[in-house]
Structure 1
Amino acid sequence: MPAILSGGPRRRWRRAAIALVAATSALAATLTVAIAHAAEPQVPNGGFETGDLTGWQVIEGDAFSSAGVSNAADWGWGCCFEREGQYHYWGYASGGDAATGRMRSESFTLGGSGHLSFKLGGGNDPENLYLALMRASDDAELMRTTNTGFADTERLGDFAWDASEYLGEDLYLMAVDTATGGFGHLNLDVVQTYHESPIIDPPTDPPAETIDAHWAFDEGSGTDAADSGASVTDHVEYVFNDAADKPDSDPLWRGGVHGGALLFDGYSTTVTRPASEAHVPGSTLAIEAWVAPRSYEWGDGGKPSVIVNQQDRNANRGYELGMGRFGTLTFGIGDGTAWHSLTSPDGAELPKDAWTHIVGVYDGDAGSLALYRNGEQIAATEVPAGGFIAAADADLIVGRHNDAAPVGPFSANMFNGLIDELDITRTVPTGEEIAASYASGLDGEGNPPEAETGYDRSRYDGDRYRPQYHFLPPEHWMNEPHAPFYYNGQYHLFYQFNPQGPFWHQIHWGHMVSDDLVNWEDAPVALSPTKDSVSPDGVWSGSATYDENGDPVLFFTAGNDSAELFQQTGLATPTTLEGNLPDWEMYPEIVTTQTPDQPVGDGLEVQYGHFRDPFVWQEGDTWYQLVGSGVRQEGGGEAVGGTALLYTSTNLTDWTYEGPLFEGDLANHPQGSEIWELPVLLPVGQDAEGNQKHIFAINAHWPDRYDERNSKSVPYWVGTWDAEAKRFIPDSEEPQLLDYGDHFTGPSGMVTPDGRSVMFTITQDGRTDQDHYDAGWAHTMGMPVELALKDDGTVGVSPLDEFSSLRGGAIVDEQGLGLEAANAVLEAAQGDMTDTLEVEIELDAASASSLGVELRRSGDGTEGTSFTIDRDASTYAVDRDRSSLDPDTAKGVHSGEFTVADDGTVTFHAFVDRSMLEVFADDRLMTTRVYPTLADSTSLRIFADGDVTVGSMKVWNLSSIYGETVPSHFEDPAPETDTADLANHDFESCSLEGWTASGDAFTDGHVTDATNWGWGGPFRQANAWDSTDRCHLWGFNPDSGGDGATGSLRSAEFTLGGDGRIDFLLSGGKDADNLRIDLVDAATGERVRTRTGADGEQYLRYEWDAADLVGGRYHIEVVDDDTGDWGHINVDDVNVPVASGG
């Protein structure tokens, strides 16, 4: 087969000695080639400087045409192509991503050094998007290259081929585009087919004398792993070695095949040895290990989840042993000229949650590459004999790819599971030796030990923000709970789950069961993205119903990135009806889908591509299915509103489209949103005339997530479900809200066996991705609530009675108190209160126009979150401006409509679960998240602006549903020091006062209170306690030079005092040389600390430990010398302990 990517023919004697250039955006690094003077024979118009395709021939299709020859410097939604000359070829401009075709150059006779070079951009797809070198005599493909920049990029990167073995032959170039999905296009420029001198140098790396490493992972505790082969001890990197919200704890040591093993958590656990201390591979290499993966990654960037590697794929150097999508085993080495690799065949994948013995063997002397699984060879190939592995200037890493795809602060391409007995050696084992090594790990019945891969909630013990009586997954990330049903005495509920880490990716269906809707038990993951299924790329939300036998079935949103419509509806059934229903099987075909021409009303068309979250129920012999979508004006016009598409079936697999259930009115009621997700239809009781009423609730979604109308809410309508007409007729076109706190979202629901309509939701935590990384978990299920029709035609919500089972003895139980007396009782009881409370307070408003409760209040009142009823304004509000002293936590005020009863009484029923606050005011709910910093922020207070009577007041501590509660951990307060802040350190003046600027990158016009950047957001700038000032320094000002502006910004000089710890918020471009914040020695000008951005606008907080510099004179300097894409830097809240008088 042809050489793939930038390797060229499979020979050892030349390598790509080409430097890496860090791209200035979040896209990949590309190759920089020193372009020599080009002479004949040269393909004509290699740079498209004629402004058309002169010299090129379109063979077929519409992906290549003169319309694609462009002089644009950027692509409209980003910058810059980095073309040479005036023109380049931009595939997207010819026919978009859907166009396909082929284009060839004129033939040329290869001369000079036999090296070719070109600039390439567009999609990363070696099978469907590439430039190929072809032989004219037989049209044989000799080489091909796709855009190997990570995650696709429009930017044109530099590539080179060594085709010297074809010198003197007539060749031509073929550009191929058979891709139709996202980034399904090719960009091309500066094609040079003649270089007099070589531009790719031969390798000079001598083979290593020895390479032996052996990690037994038998430590069982601590943060080190011994390599007995090299007599080296390596540090195990793990998020809780230095925990943010809990006590520090060791990496996850478990039992192994031989002794112990190390459990890699999927996102933070790695073992890294610097390149300078790692052995250099040679002409032979064998890597052996026992592994037990917990999950399979999606495969960002086309890269595997690495078990161990030391590689530079762009230079075809080093080695890699890893696991690809769906458990395929991969092994590869680079000889400097090409990358040689093997993948396990179908049927030889690595199973989840079970031990597998794996070996990868490279024998450069014999010219072979082989892969073994459980003692048997499963794949082999020939490689150039007499070769050796070219050393990569890269760290040796266990558990993460050397060039891992970034996902915000996370890295993809990481291994999630157990590793034991990892060996790296130059000794080539025989097949018999490999079989014997495998057999040594088996018991008398021929089985390896059980793999201890289970998730463990105890790793979060003491986390001061992790809820204790709400459900959240045992580890990592969750989103909306869904598909509730009751079967054989148990409630079942599922949820969106990422087993890999606390971030959105590779979505599975987690599964929980309960006897009482309060105490939940983890069940095995129910549905996973599965190869050759209807859902290979993600299993998103859905619902449950029962089949004709009364047994449960699941409907889910099937994610398939290869399908034209990547969201469709799938069906799953349990493989056994016993126990917790631990195993489910996907039906092999899609059961409902969307078409562009589905009728949704006169003059309207469906929002094709938005089709998700099926909600299914049964009435009589008919099953009904709603799927969330939207409608717009015909011809791709303006959005009209959301809709739920209705289908019916008599057998659960064959469905008939019936039309929209009803449509939203975006123009008049924008809170109803543009797209409806997670539609739910439930009975809520009868009105005064005896008519059965239903609630129709949705999750509000905006395709532009930064739309100013976007909010985290559950709009609903009350109305009549007409099964005969197959329509829902709302009593009012205007939607209402079930919760006012901007955290209550993701609805699902069911009718319980005793007839209650119960809704489940997700309470997203409002934290940053970095917070999620540091915490190790993300999001929480809200309390299930009961829905009921009110006399005014709206729906009231109330907590389930079952939660009373969590109460301990009442801490407070009083009646008939005045305000002052009631607060005195609460203050006296503070020492008995924990951060998991239930509070029930009935107030008679009397003369008060404003009244409420303050929760998570500190003893001195510094921190606290207030819930206020304003009788005059008829509102119910939550105020978080004083909820936390941490400036990085979200704050603000949220409110909604509320009318006090005629008798003037209001009952607050509050549930406090660490960071979770759910407060019912009568039957209106306010859900929010707060992150106090003070250990005594556990008390509460009642407040009013007039006379109130506390009719009754009860407070209970609530127990954990996960066993004994471990108290929340707070670090001891730092000792007070005689230090001050830098002047205007957080740009509170909304200017550069106190700073000295040079150049034009930093001006008063760059200081802004904007919360988003116009095409995205939020910044998450510092939000000081009890402050509405949110100014910060945004280095990109489109009216003041944008990325092209350069300059520097210097603080006043200071003497560093206190503990020497400096922290700041930073975002913007990633360029350590040209975009940075520095701590500079005032006397010498030396940069003693420095930090660059991460190619993102949202702020991340960084810290320098400069304790060794205390007493010296310094200044802070912000530098922008970058004029390319992402050529700006953003700064806020620079906290320096300035010595008194300094």
Structure 2
Amino acid sequence: MKVATRRQFLAAAGTAAALTALPRGLQAQGAATRAGTLAADPMRPQFHLLPAKNWMNDPNGPIYFQGQYHMFFQYNPEAAVWGNMSWNHAVSSDMLHWSHLPVALTPTPAGPDAYGVFSGSAIQVGSRVYAVYTGTKKGSPELATIRDKKSEIQESQCLAWSDDPRLVLWTKDPAPIVPRPPEGLRITGFRDPSAWKQGDWYYMTVGSGIAQVGGCVLLYRSKDMRTWEYLHVLVQGAWNGQPTTNPCEDGEMWECPEFFALDGGHVLIYSTLGKVFWVSGILNEATMKFKAARTGLLDLESFYAPKTQLDAAGRRILWGWIQERRSEDAMRTAGWSGMMSLPRVLNLDKDGTLRMQVLPETRALRSAAVPVTKADTGLRAVLPRATGEVLCTGAGATDFTFGLQTSAGDLFRVQYHRDKHAFVADGKEIALAPADLPVLHAFVDGSVVELIVAGRLGYTRRFYYADITAPDVTAWTDGSGTSLQAWQVSPISSNRLTTPA
């Protein structure tokens, strides 16, 4: 979980974007904390998960349990900016339609999580679900694990459990299960545990870093989920050598790591440098040493701190926090901040390349086809009020550009170059395999675009506007032989998920 420069990041994003908080017609209604105002905000999404109000960030402990999908996530019950970190809770039967449940975990005064219940994961053991998470409290500088200007926050790994079939009632272990980082390491952070069962052992990764060396992932094991033994550094990264006030911004700290088996190999995902990276390779299960083979980015833009889970069919599902790109003042005025990405299904190629696609079952949200028109410059489809789905497929024999735009200008453009068999998005070249089709799959929802580039990379963008209604978004492509399909998408609730638990 990103902590030390959360406010700096938000302020910088707001300055760069220079965006309004609420459409003009809603600003007169006040601070936008009333459910009616939130439900009327056209920038609030209609088919993405988010809390009824206030701030959210990292997904925590997504799990399929007793026939339901449970999503926990970082949440501020008090405001639409970061603070008072707790685990909020929502439930779904299909990973698409969600209902809010009561907040699951909150800070315990004088406890190891008194400053905040930070990110973690969930694991089922019989009829019980355990949550491992980072508890934070203020302490003396010599015990601090968050290295920033103040150096007063101490992180430890904590445990909670639920025997409730609805996962509403939770019990916390009063003492941390891993109270301190390993001895002898000059760590730059110590948070975001992720646990799994393998053979006779439970294993747990923790995000960390070694000062002036780089971010890393620490590996632990346990027989009972309570007593943990430190093993070794699972993966070590490299610092970029440019010190910042937050080690996550210069690669000296990795946060929100997760390690999992996939299609005959293993994959590590982690967040640093404002991005999310993946590494695939082979795990020696006897020594628990990991040999990396390939690496890449998960997403180009507003996507951070992801978690995964297995669904009912055994597919590996990826969730991520879609960040805002507006100021703290704008978020306070709007009364909400952040959303969950759509679920993405992960697979691993034989060469170790990570692939992704938006959950195919999202087709159930399509309500009607959007007409596609042909002009001298190519194909066009208009998504009314910034809501819809678009699929653009190139022939592979010609160059083409795909874009989304409003009357105010471009949201983005992505180019395909046939000579390289590659896309270029946000200045980054995404090379395709020889058998890959040049396909782009986009979802537009109020103030967000989620684009999957040829099943290889996400490109998540935010956009804002001042009108009381959302603008129409035009999808277009100019390539010969390129096809364009588009659909309207149905809301997952009648009021933009503003009904509280």
Normalising by the smaller structure, the TM-score range is 0.7 to 0.9
Aligned-pair distance for 1:679?
Answer: 0.8
CA distance in 2, matches of 1:771, 1:958: 27
CA distance in 2, matches of 1:470, 1:926: 16
CA distance in 2, matches of 1:787, 1:668: 33
Corresponding residue number in structure 1 for 2:340: 781
1:581 paired to 2:167: yes
Say which SS state the counterpart of residue 771 (structure 1) adopts: helix
Using a 3 Å threshold, how does the CA distance of structure 1 residues 760 and 847 change in structure 2: closer, same or farther? closer
Corresponding residue number in structure 2 for 1:607: 187
Corresponding residue number in structure 1 for 2:210: 631
Pairwise mapping of residues 872-1021 of structure 1 onto structure 2 (< 5 A)? Answer: 876-878=423-425, 894-900=426-432, 902=434, 905-923=437-455, 924-933=457-466, 937-944=471-478, 947-951=479-483, 953-963=484-494
Corresponding residue number in structure 1 for 2:26: 247
1:716-761 Cα shifts (integer Å, max 9, x gaps): 11111222212221014xx410112x21111111122312111111
Using a 3 Å threshold, how does the CA distance of structure 1 residues 658 and 843 change in structure 2: closer, same or farther? same
Corresponding residue number in structure 1 for 2:7: none
Pairwise mapping of residues 557-956 of structure 1 onto structure 2 (< 5 A)? Answer: 557-562=134-139, 564-565=143-144, 566-574=154-162, 576-578=163-165, 580-595=166-181, 597-598=183-184, 605-607=185-187, 610-632=189-211, 639-666=212-239, 673-685=251-263, 692-700=264-272, 710=273, 712-732=274-294, 735-740=295-300, 742-812=301-371, 820=377, 822-823=379-380, 826=381, 830=382, 833-848=384-399, 851-858=400-407, 862-871=408-417, 876-878=423-425, 894-900=426-432, 902=434, 905-923=437-455, 924-933=457-466, 937-944=471-478, 947-951=479-483, 953-956=484-487
Following superposition, which runs of at least 4 residues in structure 1 exceed 6 angstroms of deviation? 668-672
Aligned-pair distance for 1:920?
Answer: 1.4
1:276-300 Cα shifts (integer Å, max 9, x gaps): xxxxxxxxxxxxxxxxxxxxxxxxx
CA distance in 2, matches of 1:942, 1:856: 8
CA distance in 1, matches of 2:63, 2:422: 36
Corresponding residue number in structure 1 for 2:6: none
Say which SS state the counterpart of residue 738 (structure 1) adopts: strand
Higher relative contact order (CA 8 A, sep 6+): 2
Structural RMSD (CA): 2.8
Pairwise mapping of residues 146-161 of structure 1 onto structure 2 (< 5 A)? Answer: none
Corresponding residue number in structure 1 for 2:18: none
1:627-671 Cα shifts (integer Å, max 9, x gaps): 111124xxxxxx111111111111111111111112113369999
Aligned-pair distance for 1:676?
Answer: 1.0
CA distance in 1, matches of 2:453, 2:231: 40
Letter of the 2:187 partner, please give it: Q
Corresponding residue number in structure 1 for 2:148: none
Consecutive unaligned residues of structure 2, counting only runs of 5 or more, are 1-20, 145-153, 243-247
CA distance in 1, matches of 2:249, 2:397: 35
Letter of the 2:329 partner, please give it: Q
Per the normalisation by structure 1, the TM-score is: 0.38
CA distance in 1, matches of 2:369, 2:318: 28
CA distance in 2, matches of 1:854, 1:595: 47
The answer as to whether partners of 1:772 and 1:778 remain within 8 angstroms in 2 is yes
Corresponding residue number in structure 2 for 1:552: 129
The answer as to whether partners of 1:808 and 1:959 remain within 8 angstroms in 2 is yes
1:525 paired to 2:103: yes
Pairwise mapping of residues 361-440 of structure 1 onto structure 2 (< 5 A)? Answer: none
Aligned-pair distance for 1:948?
Answer: 1.6
CA distance in 2, matches of 1:819, 1:589: 68
The answer as to whether partners of 2:276 and 2:298 remain within 8 angstroms in 1 is yes
Using a 3 Å threshold, how does the CA distance of structure 1 residues 659 and 791 change in structure 2: closer, same or farther? closer
Using a 3 Å threshold, how does the CA distance of structure 1 residues 459 and 629 change in structure 2: closer, same or farther? same
Pairwise mapping of residues 220-369 of structure 1 onto structure 2 (< 5 A)? Answer: 244=23, 247=26
The answer as to whether partners of 1:465 and 1:914 remain within 8 angstroms in 2 is yes
CA distance in 2, matches of 1:736, 1:672: 17
Aligned-pair distance for 1:496?
Answer: 0.8
Letter of the 1:567 partner, please give it: E
CA distance in 1, matches of 2:345, 2:180: 33
The answer as to whether partners of 1:842 and 1:906 remain within 8 angstroms in 2 is yes
Say which SS state the counterpart of residue 41 (structure 2) adopts: coil
Corresponding residue number in structure 2 for 1:1134: none
Aligned-pair distance for 1:943?
Answer: 3.5
State, as a whole percentage, how many aligned pairs show the same letter. 27
Using a 3 Å threshold, how does the CA distance of structure 1 residues 528 and 954 change in structure 2: closer, same or farther? same
Say which SS state the counterpart of residue 917 (structure 1) adopts: strand
Letter of the 2:398 partner, please give it: S
1:265-323 Cα shifts (integer Å, max 9, x gaps): xxx69xxxxxxxxxxxxxxxxxxxxxxxxxxxxxxxxxxxxxxxxxxxxxxxxxxxxxx
CA distance in 1, matches of 2:156, 2:112: 9
CA distance in 2, matches of 1:856, 1:769: 26
Aligned-pair distance for 1:243?
Answer: 5.6
Say which SS state the counterpart of residue 267 (structure 2) adopts: strand
The answer as to whether partners of 2:46 and 2:445 remain within 8 angstroms in 1 is yes
1:352-403 Cα shifts (integer Å, max 9, x gaps): xxxxxxxxxxxxxxxxxxxxxxxxxxxxxxxxxxxxxxxxxxxxxxxxxxxx
Corresponding residue number in structure 1 for 2:50: 472
The answer as to whether partners of 2:161 and 2:170 remain within 8 angstroms in 1 is yes
Using a 3 Å threshold, how does the CA distance of structure 1 residues 744 and 876 change in structure 2: closer, same or farther? farther
Consecutive unaligned residues of structure 1, counting only runs of 5 or more, are 1-241, 252-267, 270-454, 599-604, 633-638, 686-691, 701-709, 879-893, 967-1142
Say which SS state the counterpart of residue 714 (structure 1) adopts: strand
1:161-183 Cα shifts (integer Å, max 9, x gaps): xxxxxxxxxxxxxxxxxxxxxxx
Letter of the 2:101 partner, please give it: A
CA distance in 2, matches of 1:788, 1:819: 39
Corresponding residue number in structure 2 for 1:91: none
CA distance in 2, matches of 1:246, 1:655: 55
Aligned-pair distance for 1:856?
Answer: 3.9
1:1108-1136 Cα shifts (integer Å, max 9, x gaps): xxxxxxxxxxxxxxxxxxxxxxxxxxxxx
Using a 3 Å threshold, how does the CA distance of structure 1 residues 645 and 484 change in structure 2: closer, same or farther? same
Letter of the 1:833 partner, please give it: P
Which protein has the bigger strand share? 2
Say which SS state the counterpart of residue 461 (structure 1) adopts: helix
The answer as to whether partners of 1:672 and 1:715 remain within 8 angstroms in 2 is no
CA distance in 2, matches of 1:476, 1:904: 41
Using a 3 Å threshold, how does the CA distance of structure 1 residues 546 and 904 change in structure 2: closer, same or farther? closer
Aligned-pair distance for 1:950?
Answer: 2.6
Greater C-alpha Rg: 1
Per the normalisation by structure 2, the TM-score is: 0.84
CA distance in 2, matches of 1:749, 1:804: 21
Using a 3 Å threshold, how does the CA distance of structure 1 residues 793 and 724 change in structure 2: closer, same or farther? same
CA distance in 2, matches of 1:844, 1:539: 49
Letter of the 2:128 partner, please give it: D
CA distance in 2, matches of 1:625, 1:938: 46
The answer as to whether partners of 1:671 and 1:715 remain within 8 angstroms in 2 is no
- Aligned counterpart for 1:488 among listed residues 66, 75, 79: 66
Using a 3 Å threshold, how does the CA distance of structure 1 residues 819 and 792 change in structure 2: closer, same or farther? farther
CA distance in 2, matches of 1:904, 1:748: 27
